[in-house]
Chains A and B, each alone.
Chain A
């Protein structure tokens, strides 16, 4: 009884760090889009307006991923990041197409709080060290898209299309050791399914990392978020379409999680 009381005291008074809800906005040519299994891209509006709306509703952070490949689109994105930074009063991460220090520098100068690197880190792991040394670990999120086949989690690049020789768990640990400040793990098996997050793998990852873990891929219901924070031991849950298509409202989600004893803002 005494022990249980102490445990409760500990949980309620010592650690009130809230679990984070992070809507992700895919940006193409300055507009928000969401791919369903990376095909059939549908436009869902102006990123700044959508971002502000999510912030007002209680989103804890936002991620903006530039899926534009062209040089012109790139410049549009940097301009967009400036508008986001001016208008948004919560932290945001930007990603997509960052392959060298000067890409990150331009985004930092535009006002991004963090950058997310994915394929470029797999191709050139030294990039993680360089970014962390230049801008601090808190600025560097390493995103990992992995696909499970026969119980082996292969790291993929180019939006899940190309398998690499890297394995999820060892790559995540390597990224941490090289100076990543956070890991954003997307299960390609779960992404777009709306059947829940890859909780087993997330829990394993979370236990093996000392840096925060953002879970992505598979959110379909509020219950899935409760699961990802308990079973999956994730520090943050990321989703896109369920928010964009109004399937889950952030205030309802926060309320639901709070009712289940999960600490949210």
Chain B
């Protein structure tokens, strides 16, 4: 099986490669259109800022390429956000694969407990509905680190509650995405990557 991790100007791409290596799977990190199109699985990871990464994708014609992919694609963190329609981060038009919008967390003045921004650390999910979550349950924890979130809607495949219920995962057709980092979420995270590979 050929797995390609999309190379672009976002951080922490290698972490996903390392996580796959721990599963005994090798991946190619590439921005080459041919390589990406011919892959069996495509992973679109990333930590970074929406407008600059989106500009980079457009400049390298990766935006249309990603949108047209037919094989299973997994967006992670910023990857998920860029697959939505619009992000408040830099007022950015995104890929529009999922009909959701990306908004900035706002701390509420009368918060009962002091919730910090970024949402950083281990949180659990509910309303899991995707083959990505095979053998995963609502007691399992996943590692999040983000200041922006995707709203919930028809494509929401898991919800996380932090300040507001948001899409912790999205799925539409062959497109899958997680706001959390499966590559950094211990054994449960590894299971998500394994589920994606075995789709």
Residues of A within 8 A of B (CB): 7, 10-11, 13-18, 20, 55, 60, 85-87, 89-91, 108-109, 111, 113, 135-139, 181-182, 206-207, 209-213, 233, 235-236, 265
A15 to B121: give the CA distance in the assembly, Å: 12
Q: Are A15 and B143 interface neighbours, CB within 8 A?
A: no
Question: Closest 3 CB pairs between A and B?
Answer: A265-B141, A18-B122, A265-B122
Within 8 A of A (CB), among B145-199: 145-147, 161-162, 181, 183-187, 189-190
**Residue in B18, B121, B147 whose CB lies within 8 Å of A20:** B121
Pull 12 A–B residue pairs with CB atoms less than 8 Å apart, ordered by A. A11-B112, A15-B161, A16-B123, A87-B22, A89-B186, A90-B143, A108-B12, A109-B14, A113-B12, A136-B47, A207-B114, A213-B116
**Residue in B15, B146, B162 whose CB lies within 8 Å of A113:** B15
A136 to B120: give the CA distance in the assembly, Å: 13
**Residue in A17, A60, A111 whose CB lies within 8 Å of B15:** A111
Q: Are B115 and A15 interface neighbours, CB within 8 A?
A: yes
- Determine whether B34 belongs to the interface, using a CB cutoff of 8 Å to chain A: no
Q: Are A89 and B190 interface neighbours, CB within 8 A?
A: yes
**How many pairs, one residue from A and one from B, have CB atoms within 8 Å of each other in the complex?**
101
**Residue in B11, B18, B114, B122 whose CB lies within 8 Å of A139:** B11
Per-position contact with A for B97-131: 1 when CB-CB < 8 Å, else 0? 00000000001000011111111111110000000
A87 to B15: give the CA distance in the assembly, Å: 10
Q: Are B143 and A91 interface neighbours, CB within 8 A?
A: yes
A85-B14, A137-B147, A265-B141 in contact; A15/B162 too (CB < 8 A)? yes
Q: Chain A's nearest CB lies how many Å from the CB of B122?
A: 4
User: Which of under 10, 10 to 19, 20 to 34, or 35 or more describes the interface residues of B?
Assistant: 35 or more
A16 to B18: give the CA distance in the assembly, Å: 28
Q: Are B124 and A212 interface neighbours, CB within 8 A?
A: no
A2 to B3: give the CA distance in the assembly, Å: 53
Contacts of A236 in B (CB 8 A): 121
A129 to B107: give the CA distance in the assembly, Å: 22
Q: Chain B's nearest CB lies how many Å from the CB of A250?
A: 13
Contacts of A18 in B (CB 8 A): 121-123, 141
A236 to B185: give the CA distance in the assembly, Å: 17
Contacts of A7 in B (CB 8 A): 112
A212 to B117: give the CA distance in the assembly, Å: 7
